[in-house]
Structures are given as structure tokens and as C-alpha cells.
Structure 1
Amino acid sequence: MLSAKNLFQEILDDDESFRLFCSIAASGESQGGWENGRIAALVPADARELAPKIARHGADEDKHGRIFHALLRKRGLRPVPVPPETDYTMLLERHGIGLAHEKLRDDEPLSVRDVVTYLAHSRVTEQRASEQMRLLRRHFADHPDIGRAVRMISNDEDNHLAYCHEELLRLAYAGHGRAIQRALRECALAEIRVYRDVSLAVMDHMGRILGWPKAKSALFAAGIHAVYAYERLAGWRRMASLRMPERRDALGGPATTAPEFA
């Protein structure tokens, strides 16, 4: 039976597929950590109150990258190079979503509009991350090898999503509502395309590693295309809506550590 649980169990049980999965995840998290760190350093003077929260976001992402590397070490595995077609973070940047790395490498302060762009991009991508980690938490929260990591990362992703909602609403009340709506719609529509392409690429690599028959690979590809069709029609709206979260000031404190992994 094809299911998300069976798929991930198959990836988890094989060293090579698990190595690729953790390598892709670690690379994306580490890249997110760098991006947030640079944004925190470049926040404009009239938005400096956001800098500690952005830095906390980046510290969480760095921690997640270390956790995935630690999971590899626990199995006696080393990371592998990430295939470019599976690099979600870099493909989003290539599609013009979020703040360009060229801008982040400069020392020029960002504008409030840049902050809106960053938060809209984060709100969309953290929705995806939160949903994915909740799926893994539902099936693997008690797993002896990865359960603790899944629970910790899932909680962090929920915090990141709550933070994005709250800060975007605050900026909307300050008069940036239309810019936020435009940025969220643009980001959401681009993200679902990139997510589809990355998912197809990852499944292609996993299929070759695990020796899937063509029929099985075709079923997974059909499922990915079906999800994209739904998201293109209406599902993207869940990524572009805003509501005040139950978790208020979710990134208001210091980042939690992960001594059991890192």
C-alpha cells in the first residue's frame, strides 16, 4: 500500500536513501540559518525589534541542520552532495522568491519592504515545513531513532509559522496590508511549483536508490501532480491567509539547544 508512512519507512530503512534525505534536509536548514542570520544583521532601524526574533529563527534552522547531520553520524553515514534539482531553498531564490543572496551578502541595511518580502516568504515556506513535520510527527513521534528529532523540529516549525503570522499582521495593521497580500500570493504560487518540481526530483532519486518498479514511481509522480493541481486551484490560499496564532511571541526567547544531537 502506498502511503506517506510506508514511503518514509522505506527511506528510513535504507542507508543510501536515508543519507540522501538527511543531506537534503540538512542543507536546506543550514541555508535557512544563514539567510536569517544575515537578515537579522541587516534589519532597518525602524524594525530593529524584529532582529532578535529573526536571529532566533536562524539559530533554530542551524540547530535543525546539526540534528540531521547527527542522525547521519548515529548511523555511521556521511552526507552526500545535494542534487541541484532537489535544492528547494536555492530553487525558490532562482524563481525570485524571498530576498536575493546577493542583497544579503551586502552590508546595506534592508528596507521595511524587504522585511515584508522576507516574512511573506517565510510564512509560505514555514507552512510547508510545519505540515511536513506534523505528518512525520503523526507517524514517527515515538520512533527510537528519529522520534526525538521529529518532535523537536516539528515544535520549532510551528513556532516559526506562528511568528510569521503575528509579525505580518502587525505590519498589516501598520499600513502594509496590500503589499503583504501581493507578496503572499506571489510566494505561494511560486512555492507550489517549486515544491512539485523538487518532490518529483526527490522521488526520482529515491526510486533509483530503492529500485522501485516503473509503475510505483509513476504512482508517486501522479500523486505529486494531483497535489499540485489541487494547490494550484485552491490549496495555495492556506499559505496566503493570515490569522492571529494561539502561540503568541513564539520566538520571543532564546533558541533551544539540542545537546542530545549536536
Structure 2
Amino acid sequence: MLSAKSLFQEILDNDESFALFCSIAAGGEAQGGWENARIAALVPASERDLAPKITRHGADEDKHGRIFNALMRKRGLDPVPVPPETDYTMLLERAGIGLAHDRLERDEPLTVRDVVVHLAHSRVTEQRAAEQMELLRRHFADHPDLGRAVRMISRDEDAHLAYCHEELLRLARAGHGRTIRRTLRECALAEIRVYRDVSLSVMAHMGGLLHWPKAKSAALAAGIHAVYAYERLGGRRRMVSLRTPERRNALGGPAESAPEFA
């Protein structure tokens, strides 16, 4: 029987598939760290109070990248090239979601609208990240090698999501509600499409490494398409709603270090 736990256990047990999984994850986290660092440096004067939180977000992402690389080192593995079709962050940028890298590479202050776009993009992608890490935490929180890493990253992703909710609600009260709603919808529609495509590509690569039979690969692909259909029909609403988080000021302090992983 196919299950999320059994599939990930297969990936975990094989060095090649585990190295690919960690390399994809580490690359995405490192990219998120760079983006947040640049945004923090360029926020407009009216939003300077937000800069430390964006910096903290970026530091967390950098830490997660180091953790995934450390997990590979612990197994005596080296990072492997990330196939372009599995690069979630790059594909989102190509879809026009978030702030373009050429914009972030210029030393020009961002606008408040740019900050809104960034936070809306983060709101959608952090929802996905929090859900994925919650799934891993549910099944592998007590794993001797992965457990501590999974718990730490999951806790951080929950904090990132709470921060996005809180800041977007603040900006909505300041008069940006219409822009926020429109941007969240655009980001969610693009994200579910990119997530589907990346999921199909990742599963195809994993299937090749693990020699999955065609029937198994077909069943997994059908499941991915079913998730996309559900999200396209309305399941994405969880990505665009805003609510006051239970945890307030979730990124109000320094990033938690992870010396045992770094």
C-alpha cells in the first residue's frame, strides 16, 4: 500500500535518492535565504521595522539549507546537481511570482507594494512548507537521524507562516487589502501548478533511482494530479485566507542556531 511514510522511507533508505532529496531542499532554502536578505536590505523607509523580521526569516532559511547539507554529510554523501525541472523556487520566479531576482540585485529601495507582493508570495509558499514539514514531523519526529532536524524546521515554518498572516493583516488594515487579496489569489494559482509540475518531476527522478515499477509511478502521478484538481477547484483557499495567528510576533527575535547541524 502506498503511503507518504512508506514513500519517504524508501527515499531515506537509499543514498542516491536521499542525496537528491536533500540537495533539492537545501538549494531551495539557500535561495530563500538570499532573497529575504536582499529584501531586508531594500525595504522602504516606511517599513524599516519589518526589516529585522525579514532578516530573521532569511537566517532561518539559510539554517535549513545547512541542516540538509549536514544530513548528507552525516551519511558520507555529497550534494548532487538539482535538475532544473525540480527547482521549485526558480520555477515560481519564472511564473512571475514574488519579486524577480533582477529587481533584488539592484540597489534600489523597494516600494510598499513590493513588500506586499513578497509577503503574499511567502504566505502561499510557507503554507506549503509548513504542511510538508508537519507531514514529516508526524511520521519521523522520533527518527534517530532525521527527528531533531524535522522538528526544528517544522517549528520554524510554523513561525514563518504566523508572521506572514500577522504582517499581511497589518498591511490590509493600512489600506492594502485589495492588492493583498488579488496577489494571494495569483500566487496560489501559480503555486499549485508549479507544485504539481515539480512533484511529478521529483517522483519521476526518484522512481528512476529506486526502480519503481510503471504501475507504482503511474499511481503516484495520478495522486499528484488529483491533489492539483482538488486545489484548483477550491482546496487552495487555505493558502489565501488570513487570520490572526495564535503566536504573535513570531519572528521578533534572533534566529535559533543549530550548531549541531551547521
TM-score, length-scaled by structure 2? 1.00
1:43-192 matches, cutoff 5 A:
43-192=43-192
Distance 2:72 2:138 in 1: 22
2:17 corresponding residue in structure 1? 17
1:32, CA displacement in angstroms?
0.1
1:162, CA displacement in angstroms?
0.1
1:242-257 matches, cutoff 5 A:
242-257=242-257
Gaps of 5+ in 2: none
1:260, CA displacement in angstroms?
0.8
1:206 corresponding residue in structure 2? 206
Q: Once superposed, what is the RMSD of the aligned Cα atoms?
A: 0.2
Identity value in percent: 83
The amino acid of 1:3's aligned partner reads S
TM-score, length-scaled by structure 1? 1.00
1:30 corresponding residue in structure 2? 30
Gaps of 5+ in 1: none
The amino acid of 1:62's aligned partner reads D
Distance 1:122 1:204 in 2: 27
1:219-234 matches, cutoff 5 A:
219-234=219-234
The amino acid of 2:79's aligned partner reads P
- SS at structure 2 position matched to 1:32: helix
1:202, CA displacement in angstroms?
0.0
The amino acid of 1:143's aligned partner reads H
- Report the count of equivalent residues: 262
Q: Per-residue displacement from partner, 1:193-229 (whole Å, max 9, x unpaired)?
A: 0000000000000000000000000000000000000
The amino acid of 1:30's aligned partner reads A
Q: Per-residue displacement from partner, 1:19-76 (whole Å, max 9, x unpaired)?
A: 0000000000000000000000000000000000000000000000000000000000
- SS at structure 1 position matched to 2:245: coil
1:188, CA displacement in angstroms?
0.3
